[in-house]
Amino acid sequence: MVIIFFIIPKPALYAQELDVPYVPTPSIVVEKMLDLAELKPGDYLIDLGSGDGRIVIAAAKRGAMAHGIDIDPQRIAEANNNAREAGVDNKVIFVESDIFSADFSRADVVTMYLLHSVNVKLRPFMLEKLRPGTRIISHDFDMDDWAYDEYLYLDESSIYKWIVPAKVKGKWSWNNGNKSFTMIINQEFQKIRIILTSDGDNLIVYSSLLSGDKITITAENPSNGEHYLFNGRVNGKEIVGTVQIRNGSSGTVENWNANYM
């Protein structure tokens, strides 16, 4: 985990008669949010509580498709005007809506500057509806016990990043050659713990990593000295990838096709 410090001025708070006060994000924070999201041309970004549209507009300038959601019609009008002035009004759209009734499931990147309590209320929707690998970027507020994947600190501003994890909890099985494997995964957000067996042998699991739909496992069978490096992608109830098998100086690479039981 990398923590980076910057010094910038803190913006003023503009209180509104809304659930979430409007706080304009400084331009340097906007750019760092998009940097942290690794936003690239062709990505679809959705900004929750989009305010004057600055994040959506900045995303469009980077070649992304983007739209903003805000419940305040005054902010929607301001955002549309700002998009016209920036010359990207044909590339973005701003929707007047309650974020809890909006569909943001197709996003590659979700950005937000909401309250901590709102983030926590949104969390189950995000974990359920967003695709594995979707990047979530939050200015100033975290998601409680869902630990962030990356973090930046800019004077009095914080930026958090989460990558939506695939659902892998449960029992999986597969065969490699004449060997059969069974894997039990316990999962808490992106953190996983694995019990791995092969034909009755308990394997030593040295590491296990889940990032979006990507899963990587290193393990050893102490009964025969074989070392395994599994690397695959989760697609619903299937994991597809490769496994490197080493025993002494010899090694092979085989397909890895695991199925949820």
**Three-state DSSP state, 120:** helix
Q: Which of 24-28, 55-59, 108-112 has the lowest mean pLDDT?
A: 24-28
Fold assignment, 5-163: Rossmann fold (3.40.50)
pLDDT at 6: 43
pLDDT at 22: 80
Residue closest to 100 by CA, chosen among 76, 125, 120: 125
**Three-state DSSP state, 163:** strand
Residue-wise pLDDT tens digits, 115-174: 999 999 999 999 999 999 999 999 999 999 999 999 999 978 999 999 999 999 999 999
Task: Kindly list the domain boundaries of the chain, sorted by start residue.
Answer: 5-163, 170-260
The Cα 31–Cα 61 span in angstroms is 11
Residue-wise pLDDT tens digits, 234-253: 999 999 999 999 998 899 99
- Is the pLDDT at 202 greater than 70, yes or no? yes
The stretch 7-18 carries a mean pLDDT of 36
Instruction: Report which of residues 11 and 134 the model is more confident about.
Output: 134
Residues of the chain above pLDDT 90, percent: 88
**CA torsion sign, 210 to 125 to 107 to 53?**
negative
DSSP code of residue 26: P
- Is the pLDDT at 198 greater than 80, yes or no? yes
Residues of the chain above pLDDT 70, percent: 92
pLDDT at 19: 60
pLDDT at 20: 66
Residue-wise pLDDT tens digits, 209-218: 999 999 999 9
**Three-state DSSP state, 159:** strand
Confidence class for position 16, pLDDT limits 50, 70, 90: very low
DSSP tally for the chain: helices H, then strands E = 4, 17
- Is the pLDDT at 9 greater than 80, yes or no? no
158, 26 contact by CB (below 8 A): no
Residue-wise pLDDT tens digits, 67-90: 999 999 999 999 999 999 999 999
**Three-state DSSP state, 4:** coil
